[in-house]
Amino acid sequence: MKTIEVKGMSCMHCVGSVEKALSGIEGITEVNVSLENANATYKETSPVDAEKIKEVITKIGFEAGEVK
């Protein structure tokens, strides 16, 4: 599993938006977004560029941190 920091989420709707957006990226599965931890965990079924993930998060209005 990989983890990416997601800043700016303040409710469960935000969490749902991020989950939906990340799940829509090819190569990403098992997305789990935590409001409490301000991050998202996911599994890569094929290599995904971290920049692509950050771009998707930014586009829907949140701030993306580092992938760990």
Residues that bind ligand 9UX (CB under 6 A): 10-11, 13-14
φ, ψ dihedrals at 19, nearest 5°: -60, -45
Q: In sequence order, what are the residues at sequence separation of 6 or more whose Cβ sits closer than 8 angstroms to the Cβ of residue 29?
A: 23, 42, 43, 44, 45
**Between 10 and 46, CB nearer to ligand 9UX:** 10
Question: Residue 13 or 46: which CB sits closer to ligand 9UX?
Answer: 13
Q: Which is nearer to ligand 9UX, 6 or 28 (CB)?
A: 6
Tell me the sheet residues that pair with 29.
43
Q: How far is the CB of 49 from ligand 9UX (least distance, A)?
A: 26
